[in-house]
Structure 1
Amino acid sequence: MAAQKGKDLLLKVDSGGGSFVTVAGLRSKRIAFNSETVDITDSDSAGRWRELLAGAGVQRAAASGSGIFKDAQSDELIRSRFFAGEISDWQLAVPGFGTITGPFQITSLEYTGSHDGEVTFEMALESAGAIAFAVTP
């Protein structure tokens, strides 16, 4: 994959009826995939090396972002879903890689500000079900 612009990494939330809107004002974004392992090592393991059970661990995806809210619509979407503890469909677009779509819950929402700057926010999402992946043409 060739170098891509960081600004093209997009985080979108379902605004209702399957219509996704980009979360406004994100300056930095991160997506991570993790898979837990299941250790099946026993006294008969060759050379006492650890053995893992393929395909048995829990998989998860996490996303986070920070920036400024540029419009009331995205601020309200994020804030109301966090306080309601809702699980919503999100879309994560990674340029040159594809689009990840699935249910996520906002697990952290922080607001920060200094006396000589704008109010910023940080948010974190954790997957709450199966994730679909589509290759970007």
Structure 2
Amino acid sequence: MVAQKGKDLLLKLDSTGSGNFITVAGLRSKRIAFNSETVDVTDADSAGRWRELLAGAGIQRASISGSGIFKDQQSDAEIRSRFFAGEISSWQLSVPDFGVVQGAFQISSLEYTGTHDGEVTFEMALESAGPISFTVAP
């Protein structure tokens, strides 16, 4: 995979539940992280006293975060309403030449900041709320 433009990493929300995704407007940076907890099953009989892990037993999760410029467009209103309602919605993160990650996420953090001589910006974080799918880019 060759270098990609960061602006092509897109975060999208299915605002109606119909499978039609809208791009979250104004985002300047986006990040996704996948994590898998481990379950330690080491005991006194473990070979060489090395830690042993139970395969496939830990909790898996995905976290998405982003920050950008507040634009008060459709996606901003959708984000605000979902955060205050505590809703779980379908989201996509499109990674150029890699694929699309899709699943149920809940907005876990929403912050707005601004200075007297600058623009209003926002930061948001999402946590997975179910299985995540991955579709390889064509």
Note whether the superposition's TM-score is higher than 0.5: yes
| Counterpart position of 1:9 | 9
Deviation string for 1:4-37 (max 9, x for gaps)?
1100100000021111000001000000000000
Identity %: 80
Contact kept? 2:25, 2:73, Cα under 8 Å: no
Amino acid in structure 1 at the alignment position of 2:38: T
Q: Distance in 1 between matches of 2:73 and 2:37?
A: 38
CA deviations on 1:50-107 (whole Å, 9 max, x unpaired) are: 0001111110000000001334211110000000000000001011110001000000
Name the counterpart of 1:25: 26
Match of 1:12, as an amino acid?
K
Q: For residue 98 of structure 1, what is the aligned residue in structure 2?
A: 99
Which has the larger displacement, 71-80 or 116-125?
Answer: 71-80
2:30 corresponds to 1:46: no
Partners of 2:108 and 2:124 within 8 A in 1? yes
Return 122-131 or 12-21, whichever deviates more: 12-21
1:116 and 2:123 matched:
no
Kindly indicate which of the two structures has a greater share of residues assigned to strand.
2
Question: Take 1:24 and 1:125, find their aligned partners in 2: how far apart are those partners?
Answer: 16
Unaligned runs of 5+ in 1: none
| Structure 2 residues without counterparts, runs of 5 or longer | none
Aligned-residue CA RMSD (Å): 0.7
1:77 maps to 2:78: yes
**3-state secondary structure, aligned to 1:47:** helix
Separation (CA, whole Å) in 1 of partners of 2:55 and 2:3: 32
Residue type at the aligned position of 1:4: Q
64-73 or 103-112: bigger deviation? 64-73
**In structure 2, the residue corresponding to 1:107 is in which secondary structure?**
strand
Q: TM-score, normalised by structure 2?
A: 0.97
2: CA distance, partners of 1:11 / 1:98: 12
